[in-house]
Chain A
């Protein structure tokens, strides 16, 4: 058969398109947006709206300018990136910073990599870290969290119909509370969003499960030496951030290892005194190892066997590398140089786009 004729088969394809995948993520996020409104009303909406607006405009302009594409805001990825970034912020974050973060998330998190799907790091977290690096005083101070106390609904008691007591109070708090960042007001709906995405197969169960089990097991183990963490924040990271398709590994075993390592590195970060950015750093560090994890955790082909000693050796080696990088990040953080990493990344992205990405704009991968 001629090559040209074999290329086009199969002639039937599934109806699933990228926008369908993105739509499911948006559906999973919607309840959280709703709870953020209940918690801080218009302040929440302004932050999320500003992030989305800024991301969409940047996506449209930058795709046109750098990628010569004009339809990219339609795929929904900018909306997801912006909303997820907003989910990590205080509702009282100054809006110009939010706009800056949304723009940087799209520009340096996505466009300069070559567009949707090609990014090596989670763009929402890239946006957040740009904000931290450029506005360190505001972003790392407690004042941004206490700048306002406006709430629409203070408490909800859906579980009180079952009675009263400690457990009921706790359940009510997992359903809704007004503390923390914008995406953290309902642990229950964070979890339900995760279940929805797993059921729709938009994320694998391996990453959140590996991450959460490792994180909570280690947090019990090192109870005394780690600072406080937010359960909702960990869930947000495990379900919505670590599972970002382009920046996470592809194989099931790779995803499990990746999730577990994020959990472990997050605990390292907490033990090393990183107060707010522990999920962010651990996910971004592991993002950097994703392609390497892909090359190690290759699924066993049908009827063949895995070279187990080699797999163990490679796993130990990459674990050591991840620990080394994490320690280096902890060191930079300790001496207060961590924001220079963002500047290095910024410079690298410009260099990389100019010399490499630009030549591959037409390639789909």
Chain B
């Protein structure tokens, strides 16, 4: 059974998207879904906005968010390399002829460096390399509390999303387009219906305001009735799910020839003093955003992403990536850990039907077999178990440790 979590979105829901001043220094993350990316530029090189900066093994690209000078190629933040660009504030734009001249839509998407904006950042050109697709699901179910970045896009720029949905549906021949929304956002139905690009092949699916309703597997079940296991490819079942943010980026690439160098970020949280949905360039540091908004960094914990699945920021230089939907600050609070009382609420809350308390006992008993026995690999790390736990048992910690343990075991077997 999915949980109801207070959505806490009303603070930013009605705020229109606005721009945020650019920082002097950008930290462009050199990581795609399939690993580290190789720089295509050198230190000292002058770059224009939109110039490709680095390429991944799978063809993923990342582009210069602004014009300026490359000052470092492997600046480490939390163990990941970042490419540093000194902003010259000239805003000269590299005209990316490649994107415009590419004949195939799929190539445009790849050249524009588009990755799924909702969660894992899977390269869109690989996801869209599909055929015999029945349904394209537009994921407008932003089930993380506080976040309204997707909502803001849907209410401010719905025609772009619809346009991109038609482009995508045509690309892999999807017959239906389903816009999935939470019931609390049902006013968006009218917003979409009033668009010029609205057509008969588009339908809506209104879903309960529960968590994690926007998870890909849970969404596919809710819309198509198909329950597919973690690790399987939805396209094989005739379904493609795309986030509204991804579609927005596709529109910019296909219609305007623009690379994916910005996204919408919600700034909110109990520790925030100013709120809003901002258009932020990839590589903008968290500290810059918070400084711009006058938020005191000493008294808050900062989360990059949503409060359920996002990361507590340990280094404030950590930048906005293609997948960060929010910068949230919370008043620092101490949580006390108590004994597990075996209430099973974690198991009730788990959308994947797992028994998270068993992972905690696996961790504390050093019982690796238990992780496998209780299907840890099916966990989508949504955090629902940790949210509901009345004792603050470190469930997510044990899950995360268990997963790295299993990974290292697999690797050692492979060698």
Contact = CB atoms under 8 A, between A and B. Distances in A.
Interface of A: 1-14, 16-18, 20-21, 75, 114-118, 201-202, 204, 245-246, 248, 250-251, 294-295, 298-304, 360, 363-365
Given A7-B397, A9-B311, A303-B227, A117 B390 contact: no
A245 B343 contact: yes
Nearest to A22: B341
A5 B339 contact: no
Interface in B210-241: 217-218, 227-230, 232
Given A21-B343, A365-B357, A365-B361, A302 B391 contact: no
A5 B80 CA distance: 13
A302 B229 contact: yes
B390 A20 contact: yes
Contacts of B393: 364-365
Contacts of B390: 14, 16-18, 20-21
Contacts of A246: 341-342
B353 interface: yes
Contacts of B348: 201
Interface in B309-363: 309-314, 328, 330, 335, 337-345, 347-348, 351-355, 357-358, 360-361
Nearest to B350: A299
Contacts of A298: 355, 373-375
Nearest to A202: B343
Kindly state the interface size class of chain B when it binds its partner.
Answer: 35 or more
A302 B378 contact: yes
Contact of B310 (A9, A18, A302): A9
30 contacts: A2-B78, A6-B311, A6-B400, A7-B397, A7-B400, A9-B311, A11-B312, A12-B145, A12-B308, A12-B330, A12-B387, A14-B387, A75-B338, A115-B339, A117-B341, A202-B343, A204-B344, A246-B342, A250-B342, A250-B347, A251-B344, A298-B373, A301-B353, A301-B375, A302-B218, A303-B232, A364-B337, A364-B340, A364-B393, A364-B394
Contact of A4 (B314, B354, B358): B314
Contacts of B310: 9, 11
B1 to A, nearest CB: 9
A250 B78 CA distance: 37
Nearest to B270: A12
B396 A360 contact: no
B35 interface: no
A52 B232 CA distance: 55
A9 B347 contact: no
B388 A9 contact: no
Contact of B388 (A16, A115, A299): A16
Given A12-B387, A115-B339, A251 B400 contact: no
Nearest to A245: B342
Given A5-B312, A21-B341, A365-B357, A11 B330 contact: yes
A21 to B, nearest CB: 6
Nearest 8 pairs between A and B by C-beta?
A: A303-B229, A10-B383, A117-B339, A117-B341, A365-B340, A363-B364, A301-B378, A299-B353
Contact of A300 (B343, B353, B357, B392): B353
